[in-house]
Structure 1
Amino acid sequence: MAFQGKTKRIQQQFPSPEELYLSGTLPRTSTAVDGLWLHQGDVIRAYAEHHHKTPDLALELPTGSGKTIPGLLIAEWVRRRGEGPVIYATPTKQLARQVLATAHREGVPGHLLIGSHKSWDTLEQSAVEGAEAIGITTYSAIFNSSPKLPEPRLIVLDDAHAGEQFVGAEYGVTIRRYEDPEAYESVLDALSSFLSGLLLQRLRGEPDPGAHHQVRLLLPGINPSALARLDSALATLPKPYTFDFAMIRSGLASCCVYLSYGGIQIRPVIPPTFENRIFSRSEQRIYLSATLGSGGELERAFGREHIVRMPLPTKTPPRSGRRLFVFPDLTAGGDALGLTRRIVGATNKALVLSQETLAKTEAAAAGLAGEGVPVMGRDDVEQGLDSFAMAPTGVLGLANRYDGLDLPGQACRIVVLGGKPDAVGLQEKFLSERAEASAALAERLRTRIVQGAGRCTRGPNDYAVVVVLGSDITRYFSRPENREALEPELQAEVEFGWQNSRGTDPDEVIENIQMFLEHDAAWREDGEPLVAEFRQDAVKAEAPGAEALGSSAASEVKAWHLAFRGEWIAASEQLQEAARQVGTGGQSTRGYRGLLLYLSGVWLHLGAEDETQRARARELVRQAAAASEVRGTWLKEMPQLPGTEEVSLASMDVVAVSAIVARLRGQLRPNRVNDDLTSMREALAQDESTVYEGGLTALGSFLGAESSKPKGQGRCDSAWVWGTAIWMTVEAKSEQHADGLLPLHDIRQANTQLDQLAADRSMDHPPAGSPAIIVSDRLTVDPQHAPAANANVYLASTETIEQIAGDVSIVWSDLLTSAAGIQAEQTLRQHVRSVMTEHGCLPTQVIDRLTQNRIRPGA
C-alpha cells in the first residue's frame, strides 16, 4: 500500500487582521458575533499599518469594549504569515478556557496549554509548535523557572494591566504565616540578625497591634552571612516554594524582604523577565490593556524598558454600559452594611470583590446574602463562571479578582467593591503605608477599581449597580485627584452616585436602585439626563506625579536587571538617574524618590571598590533621608552602612528622649507605671469622650511630650508639646461611627486649635510643621468641604491611636526592666532612643503614623 498524506496547504494571506476577518475565510460558528465594533476594527487596522514589528506594544481596549476578539485576530493574522509559533496568555485558567471558547466560536484555531505540561496533548502541543494553531495558556506557564512552551514569534498578553499581580509576584517567595507556620519560622530564624530580640519576640508571640500591622523592609544583601543563611533556609523549603525560589535564587542579593506578623515576601521590586527565554526572545509582545496609563506601570510590571503605547484611535472610548454607583457609607442612618444587604436583596444576585483573604472575602459574601441565597466562592467558578451566571440567585465572593470576569446581561446586575485594593501583597503594603510611595501605585489601584466596577457591564447595553463599601475606598473616591484621573464617563457616574448617596435616606436609595434596575422610561427620563449633565463637565486629568514616574520607568527597569546580575555600580547609577527623574514629580513622588535613593546607596556600597565610592554610598543614604523628611521613618529601622556617622535625632525626638530619660531617673514606681499604661489603653478602647480624652493625654505623656487638656470652651481634647520643636493638637471624635462624612464643623474647629495653643503660650504662631489631628472612624470628607481644612489638618482613625498605644506600652515595659541597670547617661539616652525607634514611638514616627490622611486636597 502506498504512503498516504497531503502536502501542507499554504494559507491565504491578508493585508490586515481586519481584512482576514471580513474575508469570510475563518470558519465562524452560528454563535459568532455579528461583526467588529468600530473601535475594534480601528485598533487592528492601525496595528497592521504601523506596529507589526514593534517589539513591545500596548493596545488600549477599555474594560467591556472587547479585547479578546482583536487579540485573537492579530494572533491569527501573524500565525498565518508563517513567522513562528503564536502564544495567547491570560492571567488565569478560567480566562484561558474563555478565550479558547471565543476562538472556536470565531473560527480561530487554538489549543489549550494550561496546567502541568505533562498533561498537554502531544498533537495539540505539536500544532502550536508548528504554528498550525495558537497556543492559549496562562501567564504562569510563561513566567516560571522552566517554561515548556515553544519560543514564539508573538505573545499576546491579555489583561496586561494586571501584570504586577500575575508576573511580578511570580518572581518571589511568599510565605503566609497562617498557611505555613513552619516555613515562616524557618525564614524568620534566618532573618534574625536584622531584628532586635524584642521585635523577634513580638513576631513569635501572640499578635499585638503594632507588630501585626507593620511591614518591615530588610535588604539581606548588606550582610553576606545573613544572606547565606536566608539562601539555605529557602533552599530547604518544600514545594511549591522550591519552584518560587528557583525564579530568584541567582539574584537573591538584590531582593527585598518584606516582613510582617502575617507573612514574609522576598522579591525584587521589578521582575527580571530578561532571564525568561519564552518572553524575552519573542520577536513581539503585545499587551492588551484596559488602560495604558502614563506612569510606567506596564514597564515595571513586565520588566521591559520601553513599551510603545497605541491608544484608541477615537478620542472618546466606547461606552461599556451604564453603572449606578452607590456609597452606603455616605447615606443617612449609619448602617452601611445593612443597606448593602438590602441592595443585594433587590436581585439576590451579586458579585463581591475584595483584596482580603479568600476566607474573609467569602465570609463577607455570606454576610451579604439573604436567607436561602446560595453563597459561592473561588472553587465554584474555577472551571468557568457558568455555574454562577446561570444560577437564578447567588452571591459570589472572589478575592483579588478584579479582571477577567464577564457577567453580561442578566447574569449579574450588582457588584460590591469591598475596600480599597491598594495592598495586594506585602511589597504594595510597604510602598503604600510605610514608604509614602502611593503615587507609584496609583495607576495600579485605579485600574483595579475601574476593572472591578466593570465586571457586570460588558457591552453598551448592559447596566449594573456598583456598591462602593468601606470607608477607605469611599475616602479614595472623595479625593478630587482620584476622580479626575478617571475617564469622563466614569467620572460622571461616580459623581451622580455620590450626590445621590450623600445624606440620602436608605429607603430612597433602594427606591432609586429599583428604578435603575427596571431601566424603564422613569430611569431614562429622570436618571440618565442627570448623568449626561455630569458628563459634560467631566475632564480627565493625569494623576499627580504620573509624568515623572513614566519618565523614570526605563531607568528603573535597567537598574533592577543590573542589580539582579550583581552589577552593583551600574545598577546604582541607573537608579540614581531614576531618582532624579522621579524627583520632577515634586511632593507627590517624594517618598518614592527617597526609596530609590536609599537602594542606590546600598547597591553602590555593595559594589564599592574604594573609600570614595563608599563615601558616595553613605551620601546617597543621607539624601534619601532628606528626601523622605518625616515621612521616611522606615529609614530609621534600616541598618547604617559601615562608616556612617550616627544620624542626629530631630529636635522633637531629642526633647522626647530627654523627657523619658528624666522620668526613668526620677522617683519611678514600675507598678504604678504599668497600671497607668493599662488604664491608658482601656480608656482609648472606649467611645465615651471624657474617658477617651484622658487616655489621649496619658499617651502624649508616655511619648515624652508635655501633654494636657487645654482649658476653655471649644479647645482641643489633648495637646502634645515637645518644647519649641513641634506641637500637636488632637481633636477626638471617638463616638463617631465609620459611616457618613466628617462634619464641616469638626474641620473648622481643628483649624483653630494650634493658634489657640500658641496664644496660651504668648507666641505668635506654633512651631513650623505642627499638625492638628482629628481622631475619628469617620475617615471620609465631602469633597466640597475638604478645601476648608488648613494644610496641616489630618484625619486619623481610632485604630491607629490604639496601635500607637500598644507600641508605647511595649516600649515602657522594656524600659522599666532594662533601663535600671544602665548607669551612664549617654548610654541610657542611646538605649531609650533605640527602643523608641524600634517600635515607631519617636515623635517623628508618631507624627508620620498620624498624618497619612491629609484632609485638604493638593496640599
Structure 2
Amino acid sequence: MAFLGKTKRAVQQFPSPEELYLSGTLPRTTDAVDSLWLHQGDVIRAYAENHVDTPDLALELPTGTGKTLPGLLVGEWVRRKAEGPVIYATPTKQLARQVAATAEREGIAAALLIGSAKYWDPADEASVEGGEAIGITTYSAVFNSSPKLPEPRLLIFDDAHAGEQFVGNEYGISIRRHDDEDAYLEVLEGLKPFLSGLLIQRLEGDPDPGAHHQVRLILPAVDQTALTKLDAVLAGLPKPHSYKLAMIRPGLAACCVYLSYGGIQIRPMIPPTYENRVFARAKQRIYLSATLGSGGELERAFGRREIVRMPLPTKTPPRSGRRLFVFPDLVKDGDAVELTKQIVGLTDKALVLSQETIANTEATAKALAGNDVPVMGRDDLERNGLESFAKASSGVLGLANRYDGLDLPGKACRIVVLDGRPDAVGLQERFLSERAEANAALAERLRTRIVQGAGRCTRGPNDYAVVVVLGSDIMKYFSRPENLKALEPELQAEVEFGWQNSRGTDPDEIIENVGVFLEHGADWRKQGEPMVAEFRQDAVKVEAPGTDALGKAAALEVEAWQLAFGGDWIGASEKMQEAVPHVGPEATRGYRGLLLYIAGVWLHLGAQDETQRSRARQLVREAALAANRGTWLKEMRELPGAEEVPLVLEDIVAVNQVVARLRGQIKPKRINTALTEMQESLDQDEAIRYERGLTTLGSFLGAEASKPKGQGRCDSAWVWGTAMWMTIEAKSEEHNGGLLPLKDVRQANTQLDQLAADRGMDHPPAGSPAIIVSDKLSVDPQHAQAANPNVYLTSTRVVGEIASDVAVVWADLLTTAIGIASEHAQKQHVRSVMTENGCLPSQVIDRLAQNRIRPGH
C-alpha cells in the first residue's frame, strides 16, 4: 500500500468578491447566471472596500434583485482567507435548500446543515469547521439552547428583515390553545395569581367575543412567589416547549407574558442573543435585507446595539419587475372573492399568502382554485420543495406567514394573492398593535412583509406578475397616504395605478385588464406601462412618522433588555429611561407609555430605598400620561405603595350611574331581557333595530343614551355628563366592502356640534369622538382629509364584542353587586367588574377609536 505525504491546501485569493467572480476560477455550471447585475457588483465591491471588519453590517438588496449570489460571493471570498468558518443562515429549510442549489450552480463550495444536528453528515460538518465549505443552515440552528455549529469568522443572515419572526420567537414559549389546550391550561394555572377571578372565569369557559379578542400583558417579576410557581409549571411542559424554556429560563423574570383566550406567549421584547456563542462570538455578522429601514427594526430583532447600514450605492433601486395591483374590494358592485377566483382562473396558477392559520390559509386557497386545479399547502412544500409547485402546469399554493424565501420567477407563477394584513404575527405584535397603540414600532415590519409578499413572483427586472390585494384590512392599509408614501417610488406608482384602475371599475373590465397585462404584449406597452410611468414621476418616498425617533431609541432599548435579562434591574431601568426621550413624537406616544411603564417596574424590582420606590411609582404615573389611550395600564398589577389610579371623569360618571341603577328599583328579569334584545339587535343589520341596540348599549355603559331627533342626526348619542360625549353613525346595512362614501364622513363631522347646540353649549367636551360603524373599513385617500381629527371608523364586529362584554358585566353585577350594602364598596366593585371587561367609557372609546380617518393625526 502507498502512503500519502502532506499536501498543502492552497486556495487562490482575490482582492474582492467581484474579482473572484470575474476570474473564472469558480467551477460554475451551465445553469449559472450569465453575469452579475450592476447593483450586485456595486454592493460586493463596496463591502470589500469599506466594511470587511464592520462587526454588524446590513446590506440592502431589494426584493427580486438577487440577494443570494452576492451573499454567497462575500462568504466564499472570506472563506478563502482561511480565518475561520463561514455560516450562511436562512429562515427556513426550504430556503436553505434553494441557497445550496445556487451555490452548486455558481461553483461555490457549500455544505447543507439543516434539520436535527444528530443527522448532519460528519464530513459536511468537518468541511465547514475546517473552512473548506460554507455551512448553509437555518436561523433555528443558530438560535437554540445548544447550537452545534462552529463559532464562525463570518455569519450571514439571508432575509434578515424577517428576523423578528425567526429570531425573537426562538426566545420564547408560544402556545396556541387550538393546537395544545392541555399546555395552555397548565400555564394558565400558573398565571392565576396575576389574574382576577373574573378573567380566569372567562378564559376557562367557552369563548366569548371580547375575551377571545383581547391580549393582556403580565410582567411576572412583580410577584416573586407567583413567578416561582410559573417557572415550575413551565418546567413541566413537554417538548418542544421545554427547548424554548431553556432559551429564556435564566431571565424568566425579565420576560413578558402575553395572554389571550386563543394563546399564551412568554418572551422578552428583545431577544438576549448576546448569550448565544455562535452569534455573539462571530467576528462579523452580515444581514442581507430587502429594506434597510431606519427605525431600529434590525437592532431589536437581532438584539444588537448597532448595525451599520450599507444601502445601495445608487439612489434609484434596481427594478425588480412589473406588478399589476388589483383591489377586488374596490370593484363596482362586485364579490371580491369571486373576482379573485376569476383572476386566478386566467392561469389556474397562484400563490396565496395570509396571516391566518395554516388551515384557514389552505381553505382560502381551495376556495380560489377552479375545478380540478390542485391545491397545495405547507406540508406539500416541505415534502416536495417549491420546485414541485413551480414546475406544475396548474395549482394554487396557500402558505401562512410565509412572506419570504419563495422564488417563483417567470412562468413559474404570475399571480400572488395577499389575503389580509400581516400585522400581528404572534401575541406580542397583537398587544403592541391593538392594546399599547404602538403601531409605529411595527410599521417597518408590516411594510416589509407586504413588500416581500408582493414580490414573490417578480424575481428579475423583466419579470411581471399580478398582485391581488384581498380583504378590507389590507385595503385599509393601502388607503393610508403615510403607508403608501413609505414605499419605494416604483412600488408606490404600481399601487396607485392599481387603486385607480380598481375603484368603481366593472368586474368584467378588471378581468379584461388583467388579461392584457398577462399577455404583456403591445397593448400593455402602449396603454398600461406609460400610465404607470406617469404615477412614478410624482412618487417620492417619505419615512413613516416616528421612524427616526424609534431608530435613535433602539440601541438603548437593546442594552436595557440585556441588563434586565441578567437581573440588573436598576441598570436596565436607567437605560430604558434614557431611551424614553427619543420616542417623544406624537406618532410614538403609545410606545413611549409602554417603555415608561417597564422602566418603572424594573426600578421597583431593584429599588433599595424609598426614594427609588417613589421614582418607580412616578414612572408608572408618567406612563399613564404618555399613553394616548393606555387602558391596558388599568389591568396591570399596582406597585406596592402606589395610590389607586384615579378614574377619569367619564369613568366616574359611568360608575356612579351604574351604581345608582343597581341601588334603585332594579328588575333583573327586565334587564336580562333588554340585554338579550340588545345583542340580537346588534347581531343583525336592519338599521332601525341596530340603532335601538346602540342606544341600549350606551345606557348599560352608564351613559345618557338617545337617538337625537331631526334630519341628518347621528344614530345614537352617548353622554357622560360634561366629561365626554360620543356620537355614533351606523352603516350596518352596508356589507359589500369598498370605500366609505365622502357623505358619511361629512355627516359625522357635524354630529358632536349639533349635540352641543341641543344642550346649549358652545362645543362638546374635549376629546369627544364621532364614531362611524361600518364594514367598509377604508376611506379613499383623497376624501380622508375631509374628516375632522376626532372622527373614527370601526366595524360592526368591534361593536358586537363590546355588547358581549357588557352582557358579561351586567350578568356579574346582577348576582354580586346588588347585595353590597355600602355604596362606596359597591362603586369599587362596579369599577373592578367594568375594568376587567373593558367596559369603562375610556376603555370603550379606546376600542372604538383605533382607526382615525384623517391621516397624519
TM-score, L = length of structure 2: 0.99
Q: Where do residues 490-501 of structure 1 align in structure 2 (5 Å cutoff)?
A: 490-501=491-502
How far residue 2 of structure 1 moved from its aligned partner, in angstroms, is: 4.1
Partner of 1:362: 362
How far does the alpha carbon of each residue in 1:310-363 deviate from its partner, in whole angstroms, 9 at most, with x for none? 000011111010000000111111411111111111111000000111011000
Partner of 1:195: 195
How far residue 100 of structure 1 moved from its aligned partner, in angstroms, is: 0.5
Partner of 1:807: 805
How far does the alpha carbon of each residue in 1:28-84 deviate from its partner, in whole angstroms, 9 at most, with x for none? 111100000000000000000000000000000000000000000000000000100
Q: Which amino acid aligns with 1:696?
A: L
Partner of 1:835: 833
Contact map agreement 1:754 1:766 (CA 8 A) in 2: yes
Partner of 2:764: 766
Partner of 2:217: 217
How far does the alpha carbon of each residue in 1:358-406 deviate from its partner, in whole angstroms, 9 at most, with x for none? 0110001001111111000011111421110111110000000000000
How far does the alpha carbon of each residue in 1:106-147 deviate from its partner, in whole angstroms, 9 at most, with x for none? 010000001111111111100100001100000000000000
Q: Does 1:587 align with 2:593?
A: no
Partner of 1:18: 18
How far residue 199 of structure 1 moved from its aligned partner, in angstroms, is: 1.1
What is the DSSP-based 3-state SS (H/G/I as helix, E as strand, rest coil) of the residue aligned with 1:174?
A: strand
Partner of 1:626: 625
**Cα distance in 2, alignment partners of residues 319 and 197 from structure 1:** 57
Partner of 2:690: 692
Partner of 2:7: 7
Q: Which amino acid aligns with 1:601?
A: G
Q: Which amino acid aligns with 2:200?
A: L
Partner of 2:482: 481
Partner of 1:648: 646
Partner of 2:516: 515
Partner of 1:782: 780
Which runs of at least 4 in structure 1 moved beyond 4 Å after TM superposition?
none
Q: Does 1:823 align with 2:824?
A: no
What is the DSSP-based 3-state SS (H/G/I as helix, E as strand, rest coil) of the residue aligned with 1:853?
A: coil
Q: Which amino acid aligns with 1:121?
A: D
Unpaired segments ≥5 residues, structure 2: none
Q: Which amino acid aligns with 1:634?
A: W
What is the DSSP-based 3-state SS (H/G/I as helix, E as strand, rest coil) of the residue aligned with 2:398?
A: strand
Contact map agreement 2:335 2:736 (CA 8 A) in 1: no
How far does the alpha carbon of each residue in 1:638-675 deviate from its partner, in whole angstroms, 9 at most, with x for none? 01100000111100001000000000000001111011
How far residue 193 of structure 1 moved from its aligned partner, in angstroms, is: 1.0
Contact map agreement 1:738 1:779 (CA 8 A) in 2: no
How far does the alpha carbon of each residue in 1:490-519 deviate from its partner, in whole angstroms, 9 at most, with x for none? 000000000000011100000000000000
Q: Where do residues 429-578 of structure 1 align in structure 2 (5 Å cutoff)?
A: 429-578=430-579
Q: Which amino acid aligns with 2:600?
A: G
How far residue 8 of structure 1 moved from its aligned partner, in angstroms, is: 2.6
Partner of 1:259: 259
How far residue 739 of structure 1 moved from its aligned partner, in angstroms, is: 1.2
Partner of 2:176: 176
**Cα distance in 2, alignment partners of residues 738 and 436 from structure 1:** 29
Partner of 2:678: 680
Partner of 1:848: 846
**Cα distance in 1, alignment partners of residues 492 and 68 from structure 2:** 26
Contact map agreement 1:471 1:738 (CA 8 A) in 2: no
Partner of 2:79: 79
Contact map agreement 2:334 2:507 (CA 8 A) in 1: no
What is the DSSP-based 3-state SS (H/G/I as helix, E as strand, rest coil) of the residue aligned with 1:774?
A: strand
**Cα distance in 2, alignment partners of residues 404 and 848 from structure 1:** 38
How far does the alpha carbon of each residue in 1:147-166 deviate from its partner, in whole angstroms, 9 at most, with x for none? 00000000010000000000
Q: Where do residues 653-664 of structure 1 align in structure 2 (5 Å cutoff)?
A: 653-664=651-662
How far does the alpha carbon of each residue in 1:172-214 deviate from its partner, in whole angstroms, 9 at most, with x for none? 0001111111100100000001111121111111110100000
Q: Where do residues 737-748 of structure 1 align in structure 2 (5 Å cutoff)?
A: 737-748=735-746
Partner of 2:606: 607
Q: Which amino acid aligns with 1:856?
A: R
RMSD of equivalent CA atoms: 0.7
How far does the alpha carbon of each residue in 1:738-772 deviate from its partner, in whole angstroms, 9 at most, with x for none? 51100001001001100100110111111111110
How far residue 5 of structure 1 moved from its aligned partner, in angstroms, is: 4.7
What is the DSSP-based 3-state SS (H/G/I as helix, E as strand, rest coil) of the residue aligned with 1:527?
A: helix
Partner of 2:94: 94
Q: Does 1:326 align with 2:326?
A: yes
**Cα distance in 2, alignment partners of residues 580 and 791 from structure 1:** 26
**Cα distance in 1, alignment partners of residues 831 and 201 from structure 2:** 19
**Cα distance in 2, alignment partners of residues 733 and 198 from structure 1:** 33
What is the DSSP-based 3-state SS (H/G/I as helix, E as strand, rest coil) of the residue aligned with 2:417?
A: strand
Partner of 1:49: 49
What is the DSSP-based 3-state SS (H/G/I as helix, E as strand, rest coil) of the residue aligned with 1:247?
A: helix
Aligned-residue sequence identity (percent) comes to 76
How far residue 6 of structure 1 moved from its aligned partner, in angstroms, is: 4.4
What is the DSSP-based 3-state SS (H/G/I as helix, E as strand, rest coil) of the residue aligned with 2:728?
A: strand
Q: Which amino acid aligns with 1:322?
A: R
Q: Which amino acid aligns with 1:417?
A: L
**Cα distance in 2, alignment partners of residues 419 and 579 from structure 1:** 33
Count of aligned positions: 856
**Cα distance in 2, alignment partners of residues 2 and 207 from structure 1:** 76
**Cα distance in 2, alignment partners of residues 229 and 134 from structure 1:** 45
Q: Which amino acid aligns with 1:485?
A: A
Contact map agreement 1:625 1:635 (CA 8 A) in 2: yes
How far does the alpha carbon of each residue in 1:241-299 deviate from its partner, in whole angstroms, 9 at most, with x for none? 11000000000000000000010000000000000000000000000000010000000
Contact map agreement 1:334 1:737 (CA 8 A) in 2: no
**Cα distance in 1, alignment partners of residues 379 and 689 from structure 2:** 48
Partner of 2:206: 206
Q: Does 1:307 align with 2:307?
A: yes
What is the DSSP-based 3-state SS (H/G/I as helix, E as strand, rest coil) of the residue aligned with 2:13?
A: coil
Contact map agreement 2:333 2:736 (CA 8 A) in 1: no
How far residue 12 of structure 1 moved from its aligned partner, in angstroms, is: 1.1
**Cα distance in 1, alignment partners of residues 725 and 737 from structure 2:** 30
What is the DSSP-based 3-state SS (H/G/I as helix, E as strand, rest coil) of the residue aligned with 1:398?
A: strand
Partner of 2:335: 335
**Cα distance in 1, alignment partners of residues 179 and 493 from structure 2:** 43
Q: Which amino acid aligns with 1:623?
A: E
What is the DSSP-based 3-state SS (H/G/I as helix, E as strand, rest coil) of the residue aligned with 1:646?
A: coil
Bigger mean CA deviation after superposition, 376-385 or 80-89: 376-385
How far does the alpha carbon of each residue in 1:706-760 deviate from its partner, in whole angstroms, 9 at most, with x for none? 0000001111000000000010000000001151100001001001100100110
Contact map agreement 1:334 1:740 (CA 8 A) in 2: no
What is the DSSP-based 3-state SS (H/G/I as helix, E as strand, rest coil) of the residue aligned with 1:500?
A: helix
**Cα distance in 1, alignment partners of residues 765 and 94 from structure 2:** 58
How far does the alpha carbon of each residue in 1:548-586 deviate from its partner, in whole angstroms, 9 at most, with x for none? 000000000000000000000000011111111111xx1
Q: Does 1:157 align with 2:161?
A: no
**Cα distance in 2, alignment partners of residues 645 and 101 from structure 1:** 63
How far residue 823 of structure 1 moved from its aligned partner, in angstroms, is: 0.6
Contact map agreement 2:57 2:307 (CA 8 A) in 1: yes
Contact map agreement 2:44 2:74 (CA 8 A) in 1: yes
Q: Does 1:287 align with 2:291?
A: no
How far does the alpha carbon of each residue in 1:532-560 deviate from its partner, in whole angstroms, 9 at most, with x for none? 00000000001100000000000000000
Contact map agreement 2:589 2:627 (CA 8 A) in 1: yes
